[in-house]
Amino acid sequence: MAKTTKNATRRNAAAAYSQRRNKTAEKLRNLAESELDHRQHELNDQLFRLKFQLKMGQTESLKKMRGLRKDIARAKTILRGRQLGLEPAPEKR
């Protein structure tokens, strides 16, 4: 009985974690395709500038770089999902 409760607790924790993590993805999913593409280009530019600053010794923000790479990956995943028809486009307002 205790084992079942432990597994249920783990599933609930995993679900809560995925819901927290998906807030950023949900913001991206609500963007139109052109806005999402523009956002991806902005993120790539920010990452380039941050890499440049890192090489010049002006910054040490590795945490920010990791976050940008993850955001870029989220945007690419959503765009690709829309191309394949797996990801629904946002409703027009």
37-53 burial: b if 16+ Cβ within 10 Å, else e: eebbeebeeebeebeee
pLDDT score recorded for residue 43? 96
**Is 90 within the bounds of a domain?**
no
**Is 59 within the bounds of a domain?**
yes
pLDDT score recorded for residue 86? 85
Q: What percent of the chain has pLDDT over 70?
A: 75
**Is 60 within the bounds of a domain?**
yes
pLDDT at 89 over 50: yes
| Segment 38-77, tens digit of pLDDT | 999 999 999 999 999 999 988 878 899 999 999 999 999 9
Whether this model's pTM surpasses 0.95 = no
- Give the count of domains, the chain: 1
Please give the residue range of the domain that contains residue 14: 2-84
**Is 16 within the bounds of a domain?**
yes
Q: Find the CATH number of the domain harbouring 25.
A: 1.10.287
pLDDT score recorded for residue 17? 47
